Structure 1
Amino acid sequence: MNNEVTGSGQPDVVIYVVSDSAGDTGELVVRAAIAQFHPVRYDIRRTSFIQDEGAIERVIKLAKQYHAIILYTLVIPHLRECISRMSKENGVVAIDLLGPLIDSLEKKIGRPSRHEPGLNHVLDADYFRKVEAVEFAVRYDDAKDTSGVNKADIVLVGVSRTSKTPLSMYLAHRKFKVANVPLVPEIKPPDELFTIPKKKIIGLTIGTHYLNVIRKERLKALGLPDSASYATTERIERELAYAGDIMKRIGCVVIDVSHRAVEETASLIMEHIRQ
């Protein structure tokens, strides 16, 4: 079970993503929906590879305990029936993402579905491209190796805490090879940024107040005082001005991520790259 809490304090909503496969589809749908309520504190708990009624019963009990919503992507009929019945018996909200569509397709096509979990994860060329892109994003994260700037489909630049790494991973799952480079006044930016086509580079900026709040929360999470220079307004303004100057020199597109979910920013980036 994977847990992710976004935002400080107790979550406003807990969502269990239940699947007889990996659960990627359900989690993507949850993230797309939760983005409509940004900012919000949420906790996505993924329960993957469900194979029996006992596992479903355990999830139902947890969902009831935490007043959570369940979103399930079960293709095995008796498991769908089980979670539907148990959720009703326990007063838990459970949403069937695939069942109604599978039923409609069976009627339209005129034959039953295969009822095999994980068929959309068949090891085809697309799958391997995605794996390669994810490995690329990890290797060239945070300018650990600046040679990735030349090899990347997309290069993200910006100050610390502008979602460079989450965006890199999200875009990697869309099969884009992404390198990201932090812009810090004390560190000279890689020369490669000024030699590759500027259309490949995306500058990320953010409002001073918004970044101040994010950095203070980050310091608290690390057990450090929020008065550290990393989160001061003066330091943030200096970094943003420096990053802005670099982006102007490059001549790249700049996106303000202040009140945008990762999914929304990624959509803007992909639209720009495809154009």
Structure 2
Amino acid sequence: MPNRTINLHLVSDSTGETLNSIARATLSRFEDPHVVHHRWSLVRSRLQLDRVLEGIEAEPGPVLHTLVDRSLRHALEEQCKRLGIEHMSPLEPVMELLQREIGEQAREKRGAQHVMDADYFRRIDAMHYVLAHDDGQGTAGIAEADVCIVGVSRSSKTPTCFYLANRGIKAANVPLVPGAPLPPELETAPCPVIGLHIEVSALIEIRRHRLKLIGAHGVHHDATDYVDHEAVKAEIQAARRLCTRHGWPVIDVTRRSIEETAATVLQLMDAWHARRGARPAEAPRSIDPASVVLGGPAG
């Protein structure tokens, strides 16, 4: 029997990013979920909540909420009970566990993770850095980088760097261009250098799509080295040999999402710092990342 369509209400007194992430992560485990999302963000008054309740009653479905205000949370839960609708605060069990372990009550503060504190400005600074050091720009600034990402053109260096910037990581993006020398700053980079590898067929497909998007008039797609199979194969092999020669770890991004690639970069960064005693590593120390090419995502 095909899955029925359900309404899923996400009610938050902040941006709703937490609930969106939870819903996306859980729904990805289902084969073909038929879910209509109703996102209710910045719900901070009884008037706003009343509109949410009207919407829930008009299109009933399970409710996930992250309301800090007790009166609003109580009103929402009471209405859900009256309507016979399943409801849950996903953060509540985690909050209770941590309160027990820490021995302290959590603050009742809306959008606590979105405050403009030092961490916030660190992420903004990292974003500015990535913009200024994308695709080989401003190589003199490599000395300020937290990590250098290298790879051939269209191997997902830029989106990976921007994702890392959102974590407060200053990531320099340095392309490996056939026949072009490496910037000298990269040879003496005071941070980990990590290569991105991609399979030939996948890279050619991405590059062909790129040529179509930019409207490469007069360029025969199969005639240019940019998408020629042998030329691309040689380019990728040269990049791999370069990383091996320098002892730089390489991540195979062929079947990885940007999030998975960035998570692996963070693990390799921790391992790099751990070997130098700079800070504890989250990644297992038994693995020498410079000795392997990390493949696709684990199952």
Counting aligned pairs with the same residue, the percent is 37
Partner of 1:185: 178
Structure 1 stretch displaced more, 140-149 or 208-217: 208-217
Partner of 1:259: 255
Partner of 1:135: 128
1:159-196 Cα deviation digits (max 9, x unpaired): 22322122212222333221111222264432212222
Structure 2 counterparts to residues 30-49 of structure 1, below 5 A: 48-49=41-42
Report if the CA contact (8 A) 1:74-1:99 is conserved: no
Q: Distance in 1 between matches of 2:112 and 2:136?
A: 36
Letter matched to residue 200 of structure 2: T
Gapped regions of structure 2 (runs ≥ 5): 1-6, 31-36, 272-299
Structure 2 counterparts to residues 111-260 of structure 1, below 5 A: 115-185=108-178, 187-197=180-190, 200-219=192-211, 228=221, 230-260=226-256
Q: Give TM-score scaled by structure 1 length.
A: 0.67
C-alpha change, 1:249 and 1:107, in structure 2 (3 Å) is: closer
Q: 1:114 deviation in Å?
A: 5.2
Q: Distance in 2 between matches of 1:247 and 1:110?
A: 48
Larger radius of gyration: 2
C-alpha change, 1:224 and 1:53, in structure 2 (3 Å) is: farther
Letter matched to residue 149 of structure 1: I
Q: Distance in 2 between matches of 1:54 and 1:154?
A: 48
RMSD across aligned positions (CA) = 4.7
Q: Distance in 2 between matches of 1:19 and 1:171?
A: 26
Report if the CA contact (8 A) 1:80-1:99 is conserved: no
1:132-153 Cα deviation digits (max 9, x unpaired): 2222222212222112222101
Letter matched to residue 246 of structure 2: I
Report if the CA contact (8 A) 1:137-1:179 is conserved: yes
C-alpha change, 1:103 and 1:272, in structure 2 (3 Å) is: closer
Letter matched to residue 194 of structure 1: E
Report if the CA contact (8 A) 1:193-1:250 is conserved: no
Q: 1:25 deviation in Å?
A: 3.1
Tell me which of the two structures has the higher relative contact order, counting C-alpha pairs closer than 8 angstroms and 6 or more residues apart: 1
Q: 1:244 deviation in Å?
A: 2.2
Structure 1 stretch displaced more, 146-155 or 114-123: 114-123
Report if the CA contact (8 A) 2:193-2:248 is conserved: yes
Q: 1:265 deviation in Å?
A: 2.1
> How many residue pairs are counted as aligned between the two chains?
255
Gapped regions of structure 1 (runs ≥ 5): 1-13, 38-43
Residue aligned with 2:196, SS: strand
Letter matched to residue 49 of structure 2: E
Residue aligned with 1:181, SS: strand
Letter matched to residue 121 of structure 1: H
C-alpha change, 1:252 and 1:111, in structure 2 (3 Å) is: closer
Letter matched to residue 241 of structure 2: D
Letter matched to residue 134 of structure 1: M
Residue aligned with 1:116, SS: coil
Letter matched to residue 174 of structure 2: V
Letter matched to residue 122 of structure 1: V
Report if the CA contact (8 A) 1:20-1:74 is conserved: yes
Report if the CA contact (8 A) 2:9-2:56 is conserved: no
Partner of 1:23: 16
Q: Distance in 2 between matches of 1:220 and 1:106?
A: 55
Q: Distance in 1 between matches of 2:9 and 2:233?
A: 40
Residue aligned with 1:147, SS: helix
Report if the CA contact (8 A) 2:152-2:175 is conserved: yes
Residue aligned with 2:139, SS: coil
